[in-house]
Amino acid sequence: EIVLTQSPATLSLSPGERATLSCRASQSVSSYLAWYQQKPGQAPRLLIYDASNRATGVPARFSGSGSGTDFTLTISSLEPEDFAVYYCQQRSDWPPLTFGGGTKVEIK
Amino acid sequence: EVQLVETGGGLIQPGGSLRLSCAASGFTVSSNYMTWVRQAPGKGPEWVSLIYSDGTTDYADSVKGRFTISRDNSKNTLYLQMNSLRAEDTAVYYCARGYCSGETCYVAWFGPWGQGTLVTVSS
């Protein structure tokens, strides 16, 4: 089973700042990695798939990069609605499909 | 508009059974990849099961032999039959469709999702 480790666990930033979130895989997942955003009481929402492709309707301030074992989600300038928990997920070697433990982006 | 609505959650004793439903609108369940993902309180999501458009199914090891994914094409509804429930099955259960971008649909990227239904296994 591929384990995804996200860091940091919590990121404290102010609106307008740049957010950089990391996801590391226990073995190569090529580019088969996605990022989801989850707000309290809501289901996850797909943001990025295949490491760097934005899902429909996702603002351009969200970008994904990386391949192999190291991936990054960047939010170029945080908007108030971006404060949430972010999860990565792999589909390289499955079943099982696996998710990371999450990074909470909170208001500083 | 594409929409997924889960029902069927509740409080159930260990060893009991429950069937979750996911009613879809705006698309055809049988023509898409459909999945169940669960999320225990305060934890990250955990993939549970998936059904392909051809009816093939996959399961996480933690539920294999206890849970069954199925669909009713006439009702455009996805199901998850859960038997021999354990305390560790307590979670919010979400159904989701494989994400589609234009003509391309991905079996293992998920969106949209339903709002979830809470299953609590406790005596």
State residue B85's pLDDT score.
Answer: 98
B105 touches A at CB < 8 Å: no
A30 touching B (Cβ < 8 Å): no
Low-confidence ranges of chain A (pLDDT < 50): none
Q: How many CB pairs under 8 A join A and B?
A: 63
Q: Report the mean per-residue pLDDT for chain B.
A: 97
How confident is the model over B23-43, as pLDDT tens digits? 999 999 999 999 999 999 999
Contacts with A34 (C-beta within 8 Å, 6 or more apart), sequence order: A46, A47, A48, A49, A50, A88, A89, A90, A91, B109
Task: State residue A45's pLDDT score.
Answer: 98
pLDDT tens digits, residue range B95-105? 999 999 999 99
Contacts of A40 (CB under 8 A, 6+ apart): none
CB-CB under 8 Å, A97 with B47: yes
Reported as a single tens digit per residue, the pLDDT across B50-82 is 999 999 999 999 999 999 999 999 999 999 999
Give residue A32's pLDDT.
98
Strand, helix or coil for residue A26: coil
Q: How confident is the model at residue B120 (pLDDT cuts 50, 70, 90)?
A: very high
Of A33, A56, A97, which to mutate for an interface test with B (greatest number of B Cβ within 10 Å)?
A97
Nearest to B74 by CA among B16, B28, B14: B28
User: What percent of chain B lies above the pLDDT cut of 90?
Assistant: 99
Say how many Å lie between the first and final Cα of chain A, rounded.
Answer: 35
What is the structure's pLDDT at A8?
A: 97
